[in-house]
Structure 1
Amino acid sequence: MRKSLLKRVSLSLVLAAVATGAQAGKLSIGHTTWVGYGTLYLARDLGYFKDAGLDLELTTIEEASMYMAAQASGKLSGSASTIDEILKYRSKDFCFKTVAALDESHGGDGIVVTKDIKSIKDLKGKSVAVNEGSVSQFWLSYLLKKEGMSMADVEVQNMTADDAASAFIAGRIPAAVTWEPNLTMVKQKGTGDVLVDSSATPGVIVDVVALSCDVIEKQPADVKALVAGLYKAVQYTKDHPKEAYTIMAKGVGGYLSKPEDLAEAAKGVKFYDQAMSEKLLGTKGKSGDIAEIIKLANETWSELQGKPFAVSYDDLVDTRFVTP
């Protein structure tokens, strides 16, 4: 889902650095730097996975195409990303399914604008910095469509979320789609306003863990341990937030390596507990709210990329492990 300030590495180096092949008792997951993935580190470092016989290896890869390629080649068991991001990679030749919900962006993503822009409709004809092909473009397209507009109504400047924020703060662009800590930075510097953030669009930007289908079938006990450990980590975060954020910060690292920064970023997400996960992903015989996100992602990416996407709920979600 997210890109940090870290320098990208080549795909060959990524593939060489990550684990190889399925192995009982072990799962490997690739992800970008994002606060919502903190519960994976928390459950690992508190021993929740180990206690259930699972060794979880987490690898930071700051580009979706790279960690998805690593997963497709069998170098990774799965990935942590937004549902709309991974949908684009699902095919008959690359089978993976969502087994766990991690978090929902609830204020962590936003659009920063100059003082004269007061509404989404005011973006018409304006230059907007946004990372094409990413969740930022998916979300922007959704917001525009709600106002009867489309991406054709704005002048897109393709930049990463961090570069977009930098260009905005420098006064080179009137609007940018970005995320924390950039939203807070813009407000602190007084260089503009946050026009809208993801708290206004609940349930649209959602992060999940998606594992390769052969891993799910061959290692069901490990998948069960993964989901159960995440539920325990979310509960620990509720009960001991200060301690949880300290552990998460050490694991997630990057721009979130300081506990106070991770704690601030955590204000913009909702970590998914069991009840929330059941509602989002669904349970046996009953589809969840994620079906609507999948439908929206199919429609959005088909329009934006000019080719059909028709990934179904059943293609992308496995509900067997949602309820322990």
Structure 2
Amino acid sequence: MMRLVGSFATLVIVGLLAVFGWQSYQQYRQPVALKFVVTSWTTAQLVSAVASRNFFAGRGLNVKIINVGEDYEAALRAVQTGEADGGVFPLSAPIKLTLSGFPMRVVAGVDYSSGADGIVAASGIISVADLKGKRVAYEAGSYDELLLREVLQENNLSIADVISVPTMAEAVPQAFLKGEVDAVVSFQPFLDQALRRPESTVLFSSASLPGFIPDVIAFREDAIENNRSAVQTFLGAWFDGIAELKKDSHSRREMLAVIAVVGGTTITDVERSLTSIKLYNFNDNAIAFTYTDDLLSLYRSSQEFIDFRAGYLTKPIGQVVRDIIDPSFIRSGLRQ
């Protein structure tokens, strides 16, 4: 047992040195090419694991990783202020930023939710129909609201049939635990936090809607225009890391250890998070950047969210989708 503990401790130390020490060292050797913001979400933290395996450095790219933890609004502010060039976001984030006049470009799909999002309800609520007249907390204007609307519609209800309690994402679990609401719509790790309420249950899981809620890599439009080659190199290193993570190998476990250390969690929790999503490799991206009516297409899934935000549009939906989804990097990879 002590040997196992010692091995894990070694992985942790290696991960810390690789992520933090290597970044500091690299900044002395060469200027930062890209600044990338990440949140506490597992696949966002994967960027640190990719860096720890020297996939960026091996391609001559110095990436500064900015970790904002669970402060999702800080991640958005980072790209708006120029502190970051890009990051891993729900697809809704670059769409909302672009619609508000701050152009972003989606250059790769990261994952889609397959249980990482859902609806948690209090005891006595055993079906979606039971939500009628109940207090439901969710972040307004987000995928949480869109998911709620979709689920209600599938059960012959509308948003008007529930008592909406607009709440910031990170505050949703506490509202539920305090008994201020009867149900919540959220995502991990907040779903697990909400489930600490005694006798609460998962009323609906995003596993039933594959492709409905994707996470993506997105960059500021000006970052792409000014440093296109760095973005292409970043994506090449990213997909090298994804290929490594999908192997059943020692290096995979080291990458999971780095994600756990940087995210302040455990390898077991990281593994569990990865089971609640479908992680995109390069081939999956080739499909995601194809025009189809399937939600696995980023064109279709972005149109779903843009339809939801139709009141904010100043140009046709099709044009907005084409402005946001940038397939050129994936197509360039296909030609190599």
TM-score normalised by the chain length of structure 1: 0.81
The letter of the residue matching 2:274 is A
How far has the Cα of 1:199 moved from its partner?
Answer: 0.7
Could you say which residue in structure 2 is the equivalent of 1:113? 121
82 and 181 in structure 1: CA distance in 2 versus 1, 3 angstrom threshold: closer
Whether the 8 Å contact between 1:25 and 1:53 is mirrored in structure 2 is no
- The alignment status of 1:258 with 2:266, answered yes or no, reads yes
Per-residue deviation, 1:291? 1.2
Residue 248 of structure 1 aligns with which residue? 259
Q: Which has the larger radius of gyration?
A: 2
181-190 or 163-172, which moves further after superposition?
A: 181-190
Q: Distance in 1 between matches of 2:173 and 2:296?
A: 34
CA drift at 1:162:
4.3
Distance 2:102 2:168 in 1: 27
**Kindly tell me: are residues 182 and 64 of structure 1, through their superposed partners in 2, closer, same or farther at Cα, counting changes over 3 Å?**
closer
The structural deviation recorded for 1:244 is 2.5
In structure 1, stretches of 5+ residues that fail to align are 1-22
Contact 2:37 2:84 in 1 (8 A): yes
The answer to whether the aligner puts 1:51 opposite 2:65 as a matched pair is: no
- 1:89 alignment partner, SS class: helix
Change (3 A) 1:275 1:238: same
In structure 2, what residue type is equivalent to 1:175?
A
Instruction: Say whether the 8 Å CA contact 1:138–1:301 is kept in structure 2.
Output: no
Range moving further from structure 2, 186-195 or 237-246:
186-195
**1:128 partner SS:** strand
Structure 1 SS opposite 2:97: coil
- Judging changes above 3 Å, is the alpha-carbon distance between structure 1 residues 226 and 148 closer, same or farther for their aligned structure 2 residues? farther
Instruction: Label 1:127 to 1:34 Cα distance change in 2 as closer, same or farther (>3 A).
Output: same
Instruction: Give the equivalent residue in structure 2 for 1:70.
Output: 78
Tell me which residue corresponds to 1:270: 278
1:227-242 alignment, distance < 5 Å: 227-239=235-247, 240=249, 241-242=252-253
Q: Could you tell me which residue of structure 2 aligns to residue 197 of structure 1?
A: 205
Q: Number of residue pairs matched?
A: 293
Alpha-carbon distance in 2 for matches of 1:212, 1:269: 25
Deviation track 1:255-296 (CA, whole Å, cap 9, x = no partner) reads xx322222222221221101111111239xxx9711111111
Any idea what SS the aligned residue of 2:202 has? strand
Matched residue type, 1:51? G
AA partner of residue 58 (structure 1): I
Task: Call closer, same or farther: CA 1:166–1:72 in 2, change over 3 Å.
Answer: closer
SS of 1:59's partner is strand
Pair 1:81–1:92, CA change in 2 (3 A):
closer
Query: Is the Cα–Cα contact under 8 Å of residues 36 and 66 in structure 2 kept in the other structure?
Result: yes
Q: Is the 8 A contact 1:162 1:178 kept in 2?
A: no
Change (3 A) 1:182 1:79: closer
Contact 1:25–1:222, Cα closer than 8 Å, also in 2: no
Mean Cα deviation higher: 62-71 or 79-88 = 62-71
Shift in CA distance, 180/65, structure 1 to aligned 2, threshold 3 Å: closer
Query: TM-score, normalised on structure 2?
Result: 0.78
AA aligned opposite 2:313: P
The question of 1:219 aligning with 2:227 is answered yes
1:63-121 superposed Cα distances (whole Å, 9 cap, x missing partner):
55543343233332113211122211105953221112112111111111123222222
Range that drifts further, 288-297 or 92-101: 92-101
The counterpart of 1:315, out of the listed 296, 310, 323, is 323
Shift of 1:48: 0.3
Aligned residue number for residue 188 of structure 2: 180
Residues 99, 313 of structure 2: 8 Å contact kept: no
Conserved 8 A contact 1:130-1:136: yes
Matched, 1:137 2:148: no
If each structure's helix is expressed as a fraction of its own residues, which one has the higher value?
Answer: 2
Identity across matched positions, percent: 25
Letter in 1 for 2:279: F
Ranges in structure 2 where 5+ consecutive residues have no aligned partner: 1-29
Cα distance, 1:24–1:320 mapped onto 2, change above 3 Å:
farther
Match of residue 44 from structure 2: 37
